[in-house]
Every structure is written in structure tokens, then in C-alpha cells.
Structure 1
Amino acid sequence: MTIKSRDNERFKLARLLLKSKYRNKEKKYIAEGLRTIELALEYGAKIEYVFIDRQFSKNSQIIERLEKNTKVFVLDDVLFKQITTTENSQGIIAIIEKNEIRIDDFNSEKHKRIVVLDRIQDPGNLGTIIRTADALGYNLIVLTKGCVDLYNPKVVRSAMGSMFYMDIACCEQEKALEILRNNNIQIISSYLETKNNFEDMKYSSKTAIVVGNEANGINEYWIENSDLLVKIPMFGKAESLNVAISTALLMNKIK
């Protein structure tokens, strides 16, 4: 089936999902790119339907595989360009149901390596942190209030499939702290003003790494409530590292 009208309900929903408030309302989001959508299928994400453009519609074998799992619609190229979020689109977009967990679903047997994100703003950074946490064997990512929307299309692309099965919860920082304290999780925060070199410290078998906003670092709440403040020493002239890079270094050490 080819969709040519901008009044089509599926197309109208996709356009709405470009905005965070409608992603929250509809409990759905957009994922773009063939590999991302293949991983969504592989990891059991609930794909409502897929749009492809005319060029992609020539890939009959891929389309046949997709149609075994979901509905596929050819979208008029003019309409497709209105919902793509990449400059060089591969011509395939999926509408996927959200699969968030609640922080109250915390599992002390499973969630022993945790990353808490304090007001991370850049979607590329968030997606990279999710992907890296997955690669390094972390079990839970917690986004506190003020972080970029988890389902921003750039976050979805940058996470490269990891968000389809990683446990990710969004909550207030006070609730996150309560859960961590109640489950005897060591809270380790990245903080430039401490003297504690992250490589010299001893860590518990159950840890939560807290990393902060790209411009301002962690807020006062986490400084006051952490069990340990650590920093990555700088040996060159750079004053700081990109938050995704520094988080990766900390995760690789504290695992």
C-alpha cells in the first residue's frame, strides 16, 4: 500500500511523534535506519508499523522479512521527507511502542551496575552512554528530571539498538536516591573538584555512577548524597572530557 495523502492517520501520527509531548502522550516513538529497525525486531521491540520510501521499496527481500513481523507502507517521497530526521535517510522509519520500566521495578538481584544521568542534554551523548553501558555490562540506566527525552530520534539512532532491551527508568532524583539507598548501592559521582583519582579508589560490588550536565556537572544534591566523589585527572591542557567519554572511562573501571 502506498500512502500519498497528508491526511492519512498513520502519517499524521508519525509527524506528531517528532515532538516530545506527543511521544509522551501516545507512548510511541520513531526509529530510523535499517540496522536500527532490524535490531528492534531482533530484540522484541513492539513495532506498530514501518514506512519506506520509493527507493527502499525496491528491496524486496528485506521488505518480505519485515512483513513477517509488522505492517509495511510505502510513503510518498514528499511526505517521507517531512518525518525523516536525517540528512541522508536510508528510506525506512518505524513507529515503536515505548517499553520503559518504572524505578519501583528495581531488581536488586539484576541491577548491580547502574548509571544515573543528571540533566544530560545532548541526545548524541545520551545515546552513546546507553550503547556503552550495554557494551560494558551495566544493568540499569536512570534518567533524572532535566535529561533530554530518551525517545528523541537522535538518541534512538546513537544508541544503536541497545535501548530496545536495556533497562532504562526515568524518575525524580529524590526517588532515585531512595531506591539506591534502600538497596545498599554505592553511589559514585563524577566531580572535578575532588582529589580522588577514579583509578585509585575501591568500589563495591553494587555501584551507581552519577554523571552530570555537559556544562555544569552534577548538581549539589548528588554532591551531598554521594558515597564517593571521583575525578578523571587531566594531563594535557583540556579542562574536561565529553560526558559520554568520561562516563565510558568510569564504567570501564567500575565494573
Structure 2
Amino acid sequence: MRKHISSLSNPLIKHLLLLQKKSRLRKTSGEFVIEGIQELTYAMEARYSLKQVLVCPDIFEEDISLDALDCEVLEISKAVFEKITYRSSTGGVIAVADSKELTLEKLKFETKSPLILVAEAPEKPGNIGALLRTSDAARLDAVIIANPKTDLYNPNIIRSSVGTLFTNSIATGTTSEIIDYLKKHNIQIFAAALQDSSSYLEEAFTGPAAFVVGTEHEGLSEHWRSEAYKIINIPMEGKVDSLNVSVSAAILIFEAKRQRLNS
């Protein structure tokens, strides 16, 4: 018989709530929260280590075999579950897991011509989630976050990415570290910027390539522009001169995919 929790004063529930809110606690404890059956399934497939899985029997949809989980499984009341989850469509499951070190050295490529997305200093969880969804859809070889301003295990990123935080190969680093890494692996840097740039439609992306995108407000730092193999832009025909970063990335990524399919 599983232990049942019905009080918000339970130490584990208090810890879980703090993990959701406090980036510093996520970093010091090495733990984070996963909400939802799909997200939990992706995390398990990516071999994330689970600490606890909390199940609400009144809501739980049996898409996961609880007996097969190599961690503590607890039951919680519906009242507690509704207090600690952000969405109603979670399938009655929430979990605490160990985070991973998202270092450049851990990246592994299964192809000689990897296609990579680099995002410099993204801050909004919604934008990061959209970038991860696009990268998953295109099956990119890696997503690298330069100078991250937001903890990637932020619950809002996991939610907005619909779990693709776990399906992508992800690393973080400083701009200098990432440029050195890309050059060491002979990966051409295509920096998306307006200054001194050419149309992305004029370039070939069939070799090892990394698209580098910045924020809408600040764009890319000079370091990326000076170290790029090519600076590219997406021609605009209206009055605005920029797109949402996830939209820009998607246009570039799927042009590269099109070229690779036809090469």
C-alpha cells in the first residue's frame, strides 16, 4: 500500500512547491519538478533519474506503469494535487527528478554534418519553449543556450516546450566557450542579424552548421557577428524589421532541412 499525502504541510509537498518557484533551490539541490504524463514519459526516455512520483488516484490516467518506476511512488489527494500543479491536463502525475549537467562536452553527434541551433541569452520561458519545440520537430542535432538568463529546468520552460526539453540534446555555455566549441568541431556559424548580412536564401546549409539567433530587443552580440562564417537575414517585405526569435529560427532551420533533403 502506497503512502498517502493529504496535507500541504507535508515536508515533501513544501519542498516541491519551493522547487517550482526557486531557481536557486533547483540549482543547489540538483532537483526539479516535472508535471504531466507526456513530460514525464519524455524525461524517462531521456534517462532522467526520478526521485519521487506523486499520483492523484482521482485523476490518474494509466499511461505509465507505476510499478515499473525505479523511485518512490506516493498518492496525494485531489486537493493537494490541484494546489501544486499549474495545469488541469496533467493526467494526475507530478514528479521530482534529478537535473543533468548540460555541458558542451556531453554533446554527441550521430552525423558528420550536424545542424545546431544556438540561442544567445534568451530570457522568456515561452520563447525558449517554442525554440525547443521547433528543434524537436526538425530533429536538430543540438540546441545550445549561450549566456542563459533563465534556468532551463524552470517549470514554465518545461510546460511551454511540452516536454521537448527532454527530447532535445541541450547544452549551455558562454558565448566564447560555444564559439570555441563550434570552431573546434568545424561547424560553420551562421549568425542571424541585420547588419552587413545577406539573405538566408542565398546560402547553403548542407554542411556542419549552427544557426545563431539573439533576442528581438538586443539581437546578437558583436562577438558572434565577428566570428560568424556568414551573417544572414530573413528579408522583410512589411514595415517591421524583425520576427519573434522562435519564428526566425524555424524559418532558417526548415530551409536547412529542405536543402539537406534535396542534396
Report the TM range for the smaller structure's normalisation: 0.7 to 0.9
Conserved 8 A contact 2:144-2:172: yes
- Matched with 1:85 is 86
**Rounded Cα–Cα distance in structure 1 between residues aligned with 2:169 and 2:184:** 19
Shift of 1:115: 1.1
Query: Which sections of structure 2, spanning at least 5 residues, go unmatched?
Result: 258-263
Q: Which moved more, 1:45-54 or 1:224-233?
A: 45-54
Q: How does 1:78-117 map to 2 (within 5 A)?
A: 78-86=79-87, 90-107=91-108, 110=111, 112-117=114-119
Q: Is the 8 A contact 1:194 1:231 kept in 2?
A: no
Q: Is the 8 A contact 1:118 1:147 kept in 2?
A: no
C-alpha distance in 2 between matches for 1:92 and 1:196: 48
Partner of 2:199, secondary structure, is coil
> 1:232 and 2:246 equivalent?
no
- Code of the residue aligned with 1:101 in structure 2: it is L
1:47 to 28, 46, 50: 50
1:118 maps to a residue whose letter is E
Q: Write the distance in 1 (CA, Å) between the matches of 2:121 and 2:54.
A: 33
The 5 Å alignment of 1:59-78 reads 59=61, 61-62=62-63, 65-69=65-69, 70-78=71-79
Superposition pairs of residues 1-255 of structure 1, within 5 angstroms: 1-18=3-20, 19-53=22-56, 55-57=58-60, 59=61, 61-62=62-63, 65-69=65-69, 70-86=71-87, 90-107=91-108, 110=111, 112-203=114-205, 205-255=207-257
Quote the Cα distance in structure 2 between the aligned partners of 1:215 and 1:81. 37
Residue-by-residue CA offset, 1:96-117 (whole Å, 9 max, x unaligned): 2213332123446658211111
> What is the alpha-carbon distance in structure 2 between the residues aligned to residue 131 and residue 181 of structure 1?
26
SS of structure 2 residue aligned to 1:56: coil
Q: In the TM superposition, what whole-angstrom CA distance separates every residue of 1:176-199 from its partner, at most 9, and x where no partner exists?
A: 111111111100111023441111
TM-score scaled by length of structure 1: 0.87
Distance 1:27 1:165 in 2: 20
Q: Deviations over 1:153-192 (max 9, x none)?
A: 1211222232224221111111111111111110011102
Structure 1: any 5+ residue segments left out of the alignment?
A: none
How many residue pairs align between the two structures? Answer: 252
Provide the rounded CA distance (Å) in 2 between the counterparts of 1:220 and 1:174: 12
Deviates more, 1:6-15 or 1:100-109: 100-109
Task: State how far apart, in whole Å, the 2-side matches of 1:173 and 1:56 are.
Answer: 45
Change (3 A) 1:78 1:194: farther
Alpha-carbon distance in 2 for matches of 1:99, 1:214 = 29
Deviation at 1:254, TM superposition (A): 2.2
Structure 1 pair 220/23, CA: closer, same or farther in 2 (3 Å)? same
Q: Which moved more, 1:48-57 or 1:239-248?
A: 48-57
Residue pair 1:136, 1:252 contacting (<8 A) in 2 also:
yes
Task: Give a deviation string over 1:78-98, Cα, whole Å, max 9, x none.
Answer: 433443233766542121221
- Tell me, what secondary structure is at the counterpart of 2:202? coil
Q: CA separation in 2, counterparts of 1:241 and 1:127?
A: 16
Deviation of residue 28 (structure 1)? 1.6
Output the CA distance in 1 between the equivalents of 2:168 and 2:134.
Answer: 11
Query: Could you tell me which amino acid in structure 1 is paired with residue 157 of structure 2?
Result: V
Equivalent residue letter for 1:71: E
2:215 is paired with a residue whose SS is coil
For residues 105 and 164 of structure 1, the distance between their equivalents in structure 2, rounded to whole angstroms, comes to 15
